[in-house]
């Protein structure tokens, strides 16, 4: 006997379909309380009836699968006994040929605890069976089992209530990888809030510096919450992706309820700090969240528009920095940043399509592009990059700019370095180097780090 949720599979089927239901049918959320009021079994039946679960890509617990396969080789019948609706659990027989029978919940009976034991005993005439599960609600089943396994990395306290011999089966679940869930390395993007005060030469005003730093913390919390949300909306697409399938949520390492809790906590922290700094800044954070919701739910599937939205996510950080510091956003800084971020957004889509082409695919899941769009995206991306350096060159040639710097000539070296960097970036992408996450690639690429250091040195020389 083997349980399904968090046992054979690393996740919970009900949580999976709830995520799908929330994002596919947001106008029907009012129905959920009504279904819950009618009972848990009715609630599950109604939700599962509205959403089709992709059972083929749900992550599994390898240790449990190996144990079941070993029992199958010994010609022992394997029964899947679960509180998941029977109609859904039955589909797992298609994926796992060694499952001989399925016992699941119905709209009348929620198959947990003693009810699950009774259903098992009806199928096992001898009354002897082994049992694998992860939850204390199944203790009555373990009590009647000949031998049991608990899917856990550590022996839980409630295991002392079980009288049959118990062994542990390791699981990949855990909360230690929550740093990867919130994409902490992406916080470096929020340093863009400092750019306005840097180019206005006000970075030595520690009062302003402190406010902007608070803005960086707030934006980091909000942005991380949005990454959690995006992972939730994309969880089923990510599982079919070569690299994204290893993400903490898609792989089942982190549970959906934990991810939702982290997202809510981060939103609370971000908005609290944001509104303390400035009510207007708090509203900007709110608009950023709305834009992310539109992007995750719809706009990321609209070609070209998605790239402009990605660029806008960077630009809103610049605008936030000017608002917090109470400085004027330079048209030159805005234009250079706009074109540069458009180039990076295009590069992200180009790399995704290039990988898909290498895998003999044509249309990426959840995107609006086709592999035939690769040449067009490269042209757009290069044009955006050249435009950024061209605007920067015109800016440096202005008399007003030259008056701001003692050695403004040194800044022309920045243009040379940025041009070299962009050419190298696109050259690598054209050769198949994966740059689907430009920020992660930048942080790991030694040449990029060297170029950034040289640009900072040239800036200080120019001062």
- On whether the CB atoms of residues 104 and 38 are closer than 8 A, the answer is no
For residue 28, the SS3 value is helix
- On whether the CB atoms of residues 169 and 2 are closer than 8 A, the answer is no
**Phi, psi torsion values for 391, nearest 5 degrees:** -65, -40
Any bridge partners for residue 168, and if so which? 150
Q: Kind of pairing, strands 147-151 and 130-133?
A: parallel
Give the model confidence (pLDDT) of 156-192 as tens digits: 999 989 989 999 998 865 545 778 889 898 999 999 9
Q: Residues with Cβ < 8 Å from 180, sequence gap 6 or more?
A: 247, 248
**Phi, psi torsion values for 431, nearest 5 degrees:** -90, 5
Task: For the sheet with 166-169, list strands across it.
Answer: 130-133, 147-151, 166-169
Among 197, 207, 206, 193, CA closest to 319: 193
- Residue 313 gets the label, from left (phi > 0), alpha (psi -120 to 50) or beta, of alpha
Please tell me the pTM assigned to this model: 0.84
Q: Which two tokens stand for residue 69?
A: 């396969």
pLDDT digit of tens for each residue in the chain (463 aa)? 899 999 999 999 999 999 999 988 888 999 999 999 988 888 888 899 898 889 999 999 999 999 999 999 998 999 999 989 988 999 999 999 999 999 998 888 888 888 998 999 888 877 789 999 999 999 999 999 999 999 998 899 999 899 899 999 988 655 457 788 898 989 999 999 999 888 877 777 888 999 999 999 999 999 999 999 989 988 888 888 777 888 888 988 899 999 999 999 999 999 999 999 999 999 999 999 999 988 877 888 889 999 999 999 999 999 999 999 988 888 888 999 999 999 999 999 999 888 888 877 666 665 678 888 899 999 999 999 999 999 988 888 887 777 778 888 888 999 999 999 999 999 999 998 888 888 888 888 999 999 999 999 998 898 7
Give the model confidence (pLDDT) of 313-358 as tens digits: 999 999 999 999 988 888 888 999 999 999 999 999 999 888 888 8
81's enclosing H/E stretch is strand 79-85
Buried-state track 228-260, b at ≥16 Cβ within 10 A, e below 16: bbbbbbbbbbbbebeebeebbbbbbbbbbebbb
């Amino acid at each position: 006997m083997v349980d399904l949720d968090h046992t054979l599979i690393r996740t919970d089927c009900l949580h999976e379909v709830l995520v799908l239901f929330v994002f596919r049918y947001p106008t029907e959320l009012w129905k959920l309380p009504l279904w819950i009021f009618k009972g848990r079994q009715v609630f599950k039946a109604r939700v599962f009836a509205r959403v089709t679960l992709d059972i083929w890509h749900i992550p599994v617990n390898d240790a449990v699968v190996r144990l079941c396969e070993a029992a199958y080789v010994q010609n022992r019948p394997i029964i899947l006994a679960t509180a998941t609706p029977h109609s859904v659990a039955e589909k797992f027989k298609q994926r796992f040929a060694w499952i001989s029978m399925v016992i699941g919940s119905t709209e009348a009976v929620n198959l947990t605890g003693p009810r699950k034991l009774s259903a098992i005993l009806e199928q096992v005439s001898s009354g002897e069976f082994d049992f694998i599960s992860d939850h204390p609600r199944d203790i009555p089943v373990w009590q009647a089992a000949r031998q049991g396994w608990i899917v856990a990395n550590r022996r839980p306290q409630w295991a002392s209530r079980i009288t049959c011999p118990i062994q542990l089966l390791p699981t990949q679940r855990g909360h230690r990888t929550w740093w990867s869930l919130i994409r902490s390395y992406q916080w470096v993007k929020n340093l863009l809030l400092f750019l306005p005060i840097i180019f206005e030469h006000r970075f030595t005003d520690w009062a302003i510096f402190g406010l902007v730093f608070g803005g960086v913390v707030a934006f980091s919390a909000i942005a991380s919450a949005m990454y959690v949300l995006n992972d939730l909306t994309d969880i089923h697409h990510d599982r079919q992706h070569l690299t994204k399938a290893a993400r903490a949520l898609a792989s089942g390492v982190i549970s959906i309820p934990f991810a939702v809790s982290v997202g809510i906590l981060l939103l609370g922290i971000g908005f609290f700090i944001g509104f303390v700094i400035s009510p207007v800044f708090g509203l900007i954070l709110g608009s950023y969240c709305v834009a992310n919701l539109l992007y995750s739910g719809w706009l990321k599937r609209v070609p070209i528009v998605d790239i402009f939205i990605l660029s806008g996510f960077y630009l809103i950080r610049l605008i936030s920095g000017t608002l917090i510091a109470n400085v004027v956003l330079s048209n030159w800084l805005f234009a250079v940043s706009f074109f540069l971020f458009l180039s990076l957004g295009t590069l992200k889509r180009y790399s995704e399509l290039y990988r898909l082409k290498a895998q003999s695919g044509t249309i990426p899941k959840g995107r609006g592009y086709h592999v035939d769009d690769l040449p067009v995206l490269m042209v757009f991306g290069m044009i955006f990059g050249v435009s950024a350096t061209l605007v920067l060159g015109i800016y440096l040639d202005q008399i007003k700019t030259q008056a701001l710097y003692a050695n403004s000539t040194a800044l022309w070296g920045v243009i040379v370095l940025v041009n070299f960097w962009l050419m190298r970036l696109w050259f690598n992408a054209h050769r198949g180097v994966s740059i689907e996450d430009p920020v992660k690639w930048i942080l790991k690429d030694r040449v990029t780090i060297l170029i950034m250091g040289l640009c900072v040195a040239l800036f200080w020389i120019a001062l």
